[in-house]
Chain A
Amino acid sequence: MIRRGLPLLGPACVAGYLLTAVLAPLLIPAGRLDPVRATGPPLTPPSYRFPLGTDSAGRSVLELTLCGSRWSLLIGVTATVLAVGLGAAIALASGHFGGPGGAVLDRVVEWFVILPQLPFAVALGGVLAPGALPVLLAIAVTSWAGVARVVRAAVLAVEAEPYLERVRALGAGHVHQLRHHVLPAVRPVVLATASLTLANAVLTETTLSFLGLGDPTRVSWGSVLHDAAVTGAVTAGAWWCLLPPGLALIVLVLGFEASARLIGSIPDGRVR
């Protein structure tokens, strides 16, 4: 599934989103997306002045979509760092040290892999106030185990290699083995998994913000869609409020998935 002609399309797409997220505040004056101070007429279809139309508060959907990438990516990246950090650490511990402790960790991982994401997130949203915390927790708690499972398999494969036996025979300690031999060998797997986790994290952030569990004061793709559903833009058939944030998200997710495949296919001998 790697497109031969354009191998860098995925990373280029992700880079484009990052650039947009960083530059958005320079292009769009502060306060223009404040629903109280918005200047446009409410719910107008795309026009010359508003290329993607306006939402019910009279804000430009184009500007909302550009700005929305900031919060969606920030939450996605933070949750992914938490999930991949924890998942990789647990995988290294259980894969390298093994023993009864490793077996217990494996059971814990197995259980968290099954935990259904959305019911857990909704339950969390019921007991915590809406904001970044329930969203981050919901994504991290339901994602780390998937990372741990994939990375653990890679760690076990490396542990069985003869060169690690040689290193051990030469008297290397656990820290040396992990830092100089195991970790570099599983790094491509960790990166590829991180890219997939990031795709899933941004998707979930959007879903949770749409459900109203996110920070209500932030503009994100999910909150734009939440507003569209709550203020009646959806029942009025205002398709221009709906399509841009969703399509932007789909392209970003596909970009992350393409990047993961690219990282996974880098000739390395072990990673396939």
Chain B
Amino acid sequence: MARASRWVGTAVARLLPVLLLGFVLFRLLPGDPALALTRGRPATADQLAATRHALGLDRPLVTQFVRYLGAVLRGDLGESFEYHRPVWRVLAGGLGPTLLLAGTATVFAAAIGIATGARAGWRPGGRTDKLSTGTALTLWATPTFWLGLVLLVALGVGAGPLPGLFPVAGMRSAVPGAGPPWPALDVAWHLVLPVATLTAVQYAQYHLIMRASLAAQRGAPYLTLARAKGLRDAGVRDRHAVPNALLPTITVLLLNIGVVVSGTVAVEVVFSWPGLGYLAFHALDVPDLPVLHGAFLLLSAGVVTTTMVADAVARRFDPRLRPP
């Protein structure tokens, strides 16, 4: 019971600032909505005051914030200026594509990073380590959107002798039958370049942490025992050292979800992937502030919640992380 109430306390302490930031950004910064509503038409001070009163803008800030909280918690994010639909409906359409893209890329990035990181950390300073860690660091230093553009030109548009192999935009072929026969295959075909971009940039995180974590296991007595049993070197590494080194990597995987989300936004913009990031970016042009507001709240709250879950999960499985 005490643990549950502490968890609720943490959740409120983490999520309330997200809403406070949303309130400041989208209710206080954009200026006076009453003036915006009467734009172009002459209005007397009395009329402006009446509009402000009708919108509740003459109340104290605390009251306004409480009203804002109530509206957001009821799921009332307003109506999109562009689509003339409730914002939550617009965002619901973007959630699936974002989760698909970020999820697929994370699975690939983690698998590649753990595999290369384990090999690099087994012999730190060796040739494999230098080569693979150098590659990972260089890709990590690459701006995600730029790598996306390069892959788009090289493999999507086709440069010089290279033909265009993969679609450059969207999630499905616009003309039915232009892509692979089944819808799922069509989506997978559109997914190749965005996922490749995101995976290439993100896998360094897992590589580096796995490398450090495995290097710390070297020389541990249980590995000497495993060798004495007669296991081959790769067997000692994969069956004994890697499982022990894996947990910090998994924790990082969940804690760094914010970096993954930022990368996903950039990739979605480059490949016009119809997810939350693309919706938010597109809303910048209109400008469709309700959609922008909703996307910001959803992405930030999602990241904050995931890190909280990650913390709890890591503590559950790794007794070393529990408070003494």
Q: Which residues of A contact B (CB under 8 A)?
A: 1, 107, 111, 114-120, 122-128, 199, 203, 206-207, 210-213, 225, 228-229, 234-239, 242-243, 245-246, 249-250, 253-254, 257
Contacts and interface: CB of A to CB of B under 8 A. Distances in A.
B262 A246 contact: no
Contacts of B284: 122, 125-126, 211-213
Contacts of B153: 234, 237-239, 242
B152 interface: yes
Q: Is the interface of A mostly helix, strand, loop or mixed?
A: helix
A34 B17 CA distance: 44
Contacts of A120: 21, 296, 300
Interface string B258-298: 11011101100110000001001101100101001101100
Contacts of A127: 25-26, 29-30, 289
A236 B261 CA distance: 29
A119 B304 CA distance: 13
Nearest to B261: A116
B303 A234 contact: no
B99 to A, nearest CB: 15
Contacts of B293: 123
Contacts of B149: 225, 228-229, 234, 242, 246
Nearest to A254: B141
Nearest to B141: A253
Contacts of B292: 122-123, 126
15 contacts: A1-B133, A111-B304, A118-B277, A119-B262, A119-B277, A119-B295, A119-B299, A122-B292, A123-B292, A123-B295, A127-B25, A127-B289, A207-B266, A229-B149, A253-B141
A235 B21 CA distance: 38
A254 B258 contact: no
A116 B143 contact: no
B29 A128 contact: yes
Contacts, number: 138
Given A114-B258, A122-B284, 9 more contacts: A111-B304, A119-B299, A123-B293, A123-B296, A211-B266, A236-B157, A239-B159, A250-B141, A254-B137
Interface in B125-182: 133, 137-138, 141-147, 149-150, 152-154, 157-160, 168
Contact of B150 (A199, A207, A242): A242
Interface string B296-324: 10011001100100000000000000000
Contact of B283 (A126, A211, A234): A126
Nearest to A199: B141
A114 B265 contact: no
B14 interface: yes
Contact of A243 (B150, B157, B289, B299): B150
B289 to A, nearest CB: 6
Contacts of B266: 118, 207, 211
A203 B265 contact: no
Contacts of B147: 246
A207 B143 contact: yes
A1 B129 CA distance: 9
Contact of B287 (A111, A126, A203): A126
A199 B150 CA distance: 21
Contacts of A254: 137-138, 141
B2 interface: no
Given A126-B289, A237-B159, A243-B150, A119 B261 contact: yes
A97 B152 CA distance: 52
Contacts of A122: 265, 277, 280-281, 284, 292, 295-296
B13 interface: yes
A270 B80 CA distance: 55
B269 A211 contact: yes
